Structure 1
Amino acid sequence: MPVPTHIFDPPFNIIRCSHAVLDVVDLGKSRAFYENTVGLHVEDADDKAVYLRGSEEHQHHSLVLRKASTAACSRLGFKVGNDGDLDKAASFFSENGIAYGFVDQPFQGRTLQFTDPAGFQLELYASMEKRPHLLRRYDLYKGCHPQRLDHFNVFAPEVQNTVNFYARLGFRLTEYGEEDGPNGRIAAAWMHRKGNVHDLAITNGKGPRLHHIAYWTPTAMNILHLCDVMASSGYLKNIERGPGRHGISNAFFLYIRDPDGHRLELYTSDYFTGDHDHEPLRWSLKDPRRQTLWGAPAPRSWFEEGSPFAGQAVREPAFVADVTIAD
């Protein structure tokens, strides 16, 4: 299938992925997991929501946990360049028949929420309350010392259409997995705005669903330390995959599940992609190094389970990719 052309003058300017809003059933249990085990910092909290961030982040939050009756992904957030980009985005959505609306969100400036053509529920904002970063507050470090939100990965039932939509918004393709042969289909794509491997990864599967959110850690040793922490604090079974290294993105990784089953990746060691003529890297679906350069193959749950978007019906994928699954 065709690889999209980079668009350098998109209809509005998305800077980077910013935050995720997850619905959780037991707010206290989820807070304890993310704060004490993973090591995110709680910035504000009440009986309805908890706002957390990484130690490098100046923004008020990069993860919001909302108390709900059912676990789901509520929204994924992106930061835009300025307030005018929100108006440009609204015009673009109106012209293209995309549902949207301006809303008030705590600690954020004017916020534009929309549902993209694939059914992913997103929000855009230009300004958020600032906090001093905690990078040098080593006395506050816990867990794997997560520094910043790095990316989202989603299950999309129509990968090519979803890739094409985000390419229109200026997302650049860095790596992709494709079937072999003249009519090979793209089964997964890694797209960025901020100059690393991805802000958004789009994976073939039942969707729209969230596969995972990912936080950057300082070193691989921080990820290994989290394995020790989880093994000794009652969360050994929450380790789903890894540690290991992907061929795609070159990332050292660990995948874990929170108390509601939301998947979190701890991630480090990808690379710079900011040059305007950076060419995307193609991976054959038959190349096992793309998923696992080294380490155990991914379990079935990693391919099949994800967090639905609240209120969105989940659709079967347009095709089933041939992937390697651990026994």
Structure 2
Amino acid sequence: MERNMDDMNFNILRLGHIEYFVDDLSRSRDFYVDAVGLFETERDERHVYLRAIEDREHHSMVLTQSGTPGVGAIGFRVSREEDLDQLARKFQARQLPMRWLQPWEKRGQGRTLQVQDPFGFPIEYYATKQPVESLLQQYHLHRHGCPTRLDHVNVLMPDAQAGYEWYTRELGFFCSEYTQSAPPDDHVYGAWLYRKPTTHDLAVMTGPGPTMHHAGFSLMEPMGVIRACDALAAAGYADNIERGPARHGISNALFVYVRDPDGNRFELYTGDYLTVDRDQPPKRWELDNPRRQSLWGPPPPRCWFEESMRVTSLATGEPQPVQAPTTRAIPLYVE
């Protein structure tokens, strides 16, 4: 895929944060801190700001009080303030809905550009966040699965081929692995895209959208998956464990999927690989190869295939309308 280098004068570094809407802020805070093992940076009347042990920024997850669960924003960090202005010019030329947020509108976060991407996802770009102490070597504070960072998000859209082309051609993402139908169709039905040197910051999948399947948190080592399950079960959340432990073919991740008290889904995983050599061709998976979705492990429940999280409209603040796939959906192979 040829990149559009003419106006790619910006540098997106990595996924920075995710915002989940929750009904009971205190209950959700206790779930993510006491049962999952994230750390609270601060809170106000409507938000709780959380981070993982490697984070040196104010937050990588925001819980926002709302009567409707779902996703408020997906945040990406850029390398400098000028990148925000370059992105704004690019989005304005394409007539995408966008607005600027000042630092006082996002606690702990610098100037922020909000945009509804061409597929309806609410994306935030920022260059700075308030620095905080890394907890990496505060071993006496580590608990349960010990999430190290927010690693990726997995989203559904009616045509993943279009999402793949937008994020690689226009925003400079690289592809580590993808699923594609056989010739002569040769259509991309899912792609794992990255800016940081791991398998993905963003996965785009064909399905009803715009919706989000999950956010993924990286763990330090494989036993963290088991400890996370033990901690969730001991805290009374055994039924919130939706799928796993098991291992994906795509990304090689050892994982467990969990639903929070509002039904928002997240993944705890470990075992993917580095993608430092960006000239390395991405790995292609046949559309009908079941090993890409599950290298081993029990079959997922039906809800894992069929349920995803609504995302917010910047214009209305309400959930975005969901459209059916324009190409043949492959929900059995969502990662």
Segments ≥4 residues shifted beyond 6 Å: none
**Matched residue, 1:54:** 52
Once the two structures are superposed, residues 114-134 of structure 1 have per-residue CA deviations (whole angstroms, 9 ceiling, x without a partner) of: 000100001000000000101
**Matched residue, 2:225:** 223
Deviation at 1:203, TM superposition (A): 1.1
**Matched residue, 1:135:** 136
**Matched residue, 2:83:** 85
Any idea what SS the aligned residue of 2:16 has? strand
Is 1:41 equivalent to 2:43 in the alignment? no
**Matched residue, 1:108:** 109
Compared with structure 1, are the counterparts of its residues 8 and 191 closer, same or farther at alpha carbon in structure 2 (3 Å cutoff)? Answer: farther
TM-score with structure 2 setting the length: 0.93
2: CA distance, partners of 1:293 / 1:253: 11
2: CA distance, partners of 1:52 / 1:233: 19
Deviation at 1:160, TM superposition (A): 1.1
Any idea what SS the aligned residue of 2:267 has? strand
Is 1:317 equivalent to 2:315 in the alignment? no
2: CA distance, partners of 1:148 / 1:242: 20
Deviation at 1:143, TM superposition (A): 2.2
Compared with structure 1, are the counterparts of its residues 70 and 322 closer, same or farther at alpha carbon in structure 2 (3 Å cutoff)? Answer: closer
1: CA distance, partners of 2:211 / 2:309: 5
| Count of residue correspondences | 322
Deviation at 1:173, TM superposition (A): 1.1
**Matched residue, 2:2:** 5
The answer on whether the counterparts of 2:12 and 2:195 sit within 8 Å (CA) in structure 1 is yes
Deviation at 1:226, TM superposition (A): 1.1
Range with bigger deviation, 193-202 or 176-185: 176-185
Any idea what SS the aligned residue of 2:291 has? coil
2: CA distance, partners of 1:110 / 1:158: 32
**Matched residue, 2:315:** none
1: CA distance, partners of 2:87 / 2:21: 26
Any idea what SS the aligned residue of 2:144 has? coil
Compared with structure 1, are the counterparts of its residues 6 and 91 closer, same or farther at alpha carbon in structure 2 (3 Å cutoff)? Answer: closer
Any idea what SS the aligned residue of 1:88 has? helix
1: CA distance, partners of 2:324 / 2:331: 17
Compared with structure 1, are the counterparts of its residues 39 and 285 closer, same or farther at alpha carbon in structure 2 (3 Å cutoff)? Answer: same
1:196 is matched by which residue type in structure 2?
A: T
Deviation at 1:197, TM superposition (A): 0.5
2: CA distance, partners of 1:67 / 1:74: 11
1:188 is matched by which residue type in structure 2?
A: G
Deviation at 1:244, TM superposition (A): 0.8
Is 1:304 equivalent to 2:302 in the alignment? no
Range with bigger deviation, 173-182 or 144-153: 173-182
In the TM superposition, what are the counterparts of 1:52-201 in structure 2 within 5 Å? 52-104=50-102, 105-167=106-168, 168-201=170-203
Structure 1 gap segments, 5+ residues each: none
Range with bigger deviation, 36-45 or 184-193: 184-193
1: CA distance, partners of 2:174 / 2:305: 24
1:140 is matched by which residue type in structure 2?
A: L
1: CA distance, partners of 2:302 / 2:226: 23
Compared with structure 1, are the counterparts of its residues 179 and 158 closer, same or farther at alpha carbon in structure 2 (3 Å cutoff)? Answer: same
Once the two structures are superposed, residues 194-229 of structure 1 have per-residue CA deviations (whole angstroms, 9 ceiling, x without a partner) of: 111100000111111111111110111011111111
Once the two structures are superposed, residues 263-300 of structure 1 have per-residue CA deviations (whole angstroms, 9 ceiling, x without a partner) of: 11011111111213111111012111100111012222
The answer on whether the counterparts of 1:176 and 1:189 sit within 8 Å (CA) in structure 2 is yes
Any idea what SS the aligned residue of 1:289 has? helix
**Matched residue, 1:28:** 26
Deviation at 1:69, TM superposition (A): 1.3
2: CA distance, partners of 1:227 / 1:63: 20
1: CA distance, partners of 2:95 / 2:152: 27
Deviation at 1:181, TM superposition (A): 3.0
Once the two structures are superposed, residues 151-200 of structure 1 have per-residue CA deviations (whole angstroms, 9 ceiling, x without a partner) of: 01101112111111111100011101122231132111100001111000
Any idea what SS the aligned residue of 2:129 has? coil
Any idea what SS the aligned residue of 1:147 has? strand
Structure 2 gap segments, 5+ residues each: 313-317
Deviation at 1:47, TM superposition (A): 2.3
Any idea what SS the aligned residue of 2:193 has? strand
The answer on whether the counterparts of 1:145 and 1:217 sit within 8 Å (CA) in structure 2 is yes
